């Protein structure tokens, strides 16, 4: 990453603190393996494929945490320009509005401003990935039956952050010279969810044309 990009994507700008993998754990080794593939300049379509002999749930868990960190970083770079005034509705253009729903305060889908939605979303994802019952960190502890369901929900909601950033804040990303980095993050995310069928095709609609151009 160039110095200019390092300044754009610095730790202070991260919307949430990074979730790290414990050294010496199987998940940490898998994370290193995934990073090595990316750093070696491997084709992203190949880099997302399940390594021989590894478990699908572990591979998905590592990527969910990694994408959470990356999307946090991307949103962190533009969050000062994403306000209740500039983005009173969490949307992806005029056709797509995203409403927030959870198990606690918002039992019904509720219209919120983009920054409020993002804040609730990041809190909710953090709660899921820090929950040992859903994302177990000890080798040998089985994943719960609903793990893939939770992972899919997290990834489809993270996709909405890409949608909002691309449609409403991409001029800011451009001004910072971060376009190539954000595009690479998006392509990596897209190839991963497609490889394992983790997001419903309907959800991908808002960025369909851009994705066709970017990810032949």
Digit-by-digit pLDDT tens for the chain (216 residues) are 444 444 444 444 445 555 555 655 556 666 666 666 565 556 889 889 998 888 999 999 999 999 999 999 999 989 999 999 999 999 998 999 999 999 889 999 999 999 999 999 999 999 999 999 999 887 778 999 999 999 999 999 999 999 999 999 999 999 988 898 899 999 999 999 999 999 999 999 999 999 999 987
pLDDT of residue 6: 45
Flag whether 164 is marked binding.
Answer: yes
- Asked whether 203 and 57 are in contact (CB, 8 A), the reply is no
Is there a binding annotation on residue 82? yes
Using CA atoms, how far apart are residues 87 and 112, in angstroms rounded to an integer?
9
Architecture of domain 3-214 in this structure: Up-down Bundle (1.20)
pLDDT at 44: 87
Instruction: Provide the pLDDT for residue 213.
Output: 93
Please tell me whether 169 is known to bind a ligand: yes
- Give 113-174 as a DSSP string: -HHHHHHHHHHHHHHHHT-TTTS--STTPPPPTTHHHHHHHHHHHHHHHHHHHHHHSHHHHH
Tokens linked to 41: 């300049």
CA dist., res. 128 & res. 23, Å (int): 21
What per-residue confidence (pLDDT) applies to 140? 77
Give me the pLDDT at residue 126, please. 93
Q: What is the pLDDT of residue 39?
A: 59
The response to whether 104 counts as a known ligand-binding position is no
pLDDT value at residue 137? 81
Q: What is the pTM of this model?
A: 0.85
């Amino acid at each position: 990453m160039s110095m200019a990009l390092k300044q754009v994507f610095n730790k202070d700008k991260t919307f949430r603190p990074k979730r790290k993998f414990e050294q010496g754990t199987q998940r940490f080794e898998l994370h290193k393996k995934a990073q090595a593939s990316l750093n070696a300049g491997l084709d992203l379509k190949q880099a997302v494929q399940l390594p021989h002999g590894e478990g699908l749930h572990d591979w998905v868990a590592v990527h969910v945490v990694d994408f959470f960190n990356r999307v946090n970083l991307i949103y962190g770079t533009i969050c000062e320009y994403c306000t209740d005034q500039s983005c009173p509705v969490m949307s992806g253009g005029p056709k797509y509005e995203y409403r927030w729903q959870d198990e606690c305060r918002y039992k019904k889908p509720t219209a919120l401003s983009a920054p409020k939605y993002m804040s609730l979303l990041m809190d909710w994802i953090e709660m899921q990935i820090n929950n040992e019952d859903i994302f177990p960190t000890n080798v040998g502890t089985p994943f719960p039956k609903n793990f893939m369901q939770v992972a899919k929900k997290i990834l489809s909601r993270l996709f909405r952050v890409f949608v909002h950033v691309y449609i409403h804040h991409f001029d800011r990303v451009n001004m910072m010279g971060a376009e190539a980095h954000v595009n690479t993050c998006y392509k990596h995310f897209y190839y991963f969810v497609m490889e394992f069928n983790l997001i419903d095709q309907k959800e991908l609609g808002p960025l369909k044309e851009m994705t066709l151009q970017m990810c032949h």
